[in-house]
């Protein structure tokens, strides 16, 4: 298996965790990412330490507390493919949070360096920016959960729905140079779900000099690491692809650079 492809465990561990990416395991600096599947009545409690966190309820309902704040019975969708925006909770560094599952619950915990400058808050579905990006076979649905316009210290969090036969993260773009205002350096993880679940997505990761040039077959509940390079995604006909993106770097802004060989596609209509 590629060093850029991480599979979820078949069964959760005692805490409910099925997948974990740390800066150490990814051999990078900023992004951490975990996925948990909790049974009804099961509780997860953690301290954020020097990291901020965005808890995304992928599916199911829960009670969540963070510091002195708490929210009861949050969660709406029972599957990501209902395509309604999720409930999420922002948790600053130096804060304990607890998640109690009311139903079967799949949740993602997105992490990046924090400065403790903000308070815990609920990100309700109504606060999530909904965007239809691209056109024709490049069309996809985007939910901006924690974009740069909303307060956080490091994290950028977004989810994308790519219909079968369509492409996303396309035309190919990258964000691996700390060269503002032209381009920002952002590490990125992609957490995939696919329906029907026997399907797959295809993601290519490549650099301009082709020192990285990998084409990955990505299955349901796998995660792709993008340390650098261009990284387009394809959903084969008949299979709908969801992914949750987490990005972080030295500056909290998303400034990407399109592959010059494919930038002409930005001019394409329909």
Distance CA 143, CA 145 (A): 6
CA dihedral (169, 172, 177, 179) positive or negative = negative
pLDDT in tens, the chain (270 residues): 799 999 999 999 999 999 999 999 999 999 999 999 999 999 999 999 999 999 999 999 999 999 999 999 999 999 999 999 999 999 999 999 999 999 999 999 999 999 998 999 999 999 999 999 998 999 999 999 999 999 999 999 999 999 999 999 999 999 999 999 999 999 999 999 999 999 999 999 999 999 999 999 999 999 999 999 999 999 999 999 999 999 999 999 999 999 999 988 887 644
Q: What pTM, to 2 d.p., does this model score? A: 0.96
Structural domains of the chain sorted by starting position, each given as residue range(s) with its CATH number in brackets? 5-265 (2.60.120.10)
Half-sphere exposure for 185 (CA within 13 Å, toward CB): 10
List all residues 6 or more positions away from 1 whose beta carbon is below 8 Å from its beta carbon. Answer: 7
Cα Rg, the chain, nearest whole Å:
18
């Amino acid at each position: 298996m590629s060093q850029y492809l991480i599979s979820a465990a078949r069964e959760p561990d005692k805490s409910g965790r099925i997948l974990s990416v740390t800066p150490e395991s990814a051999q990078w600096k900023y992004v951490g990412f975990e996925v948990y599947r909790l049974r009804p009545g099961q509780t997860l409690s953690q301290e954020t330490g020097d990291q901020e966190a965005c808890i995304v309820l992928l599916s199911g309902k829960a009670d969540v507390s963070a510091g002195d704040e708490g929210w009861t019975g949050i969660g709406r969708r029972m599957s990501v493919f209902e395509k309604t925006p999720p409930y999420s909770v922002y948790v600053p560094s130096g804060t304990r949070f607890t998640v109690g599952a009311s139903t079967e619950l799949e949740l993602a915990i997105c992490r990046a360096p924090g400065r403790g400058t903000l308070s815990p808050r609920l990100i309700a579905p109504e606060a999530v920016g909904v965007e239809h990006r691209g056109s024709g076979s490049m069309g996809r649905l985007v939910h901006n959960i924690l974009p740069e316009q909303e307060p956080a210290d490091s994290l950028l969090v977004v989810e994308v729905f790519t219909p079968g036969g369509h492409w996303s993260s396309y035309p190919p773009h990258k964000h691996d140079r700390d060269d503002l205002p032209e381009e920002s350096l952002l590490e990125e993880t992609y957490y995939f779900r696919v329906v029907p679940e026997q399907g797959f997505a295809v993601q290519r990761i490549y650099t301009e000099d082709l020192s990285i040039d990998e084409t990955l077959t990505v299955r349901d509940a796998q995660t792709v690491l993008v340390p650098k390079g261009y990284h387009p995604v394809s959903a084969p006909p008949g299979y709908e692809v969801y992914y949750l993106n987490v990005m972080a770097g030295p500056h909290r802004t998303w400034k990407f650079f399109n592959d010059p060989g494919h930038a002409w596609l930005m001019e394409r209509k329909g």
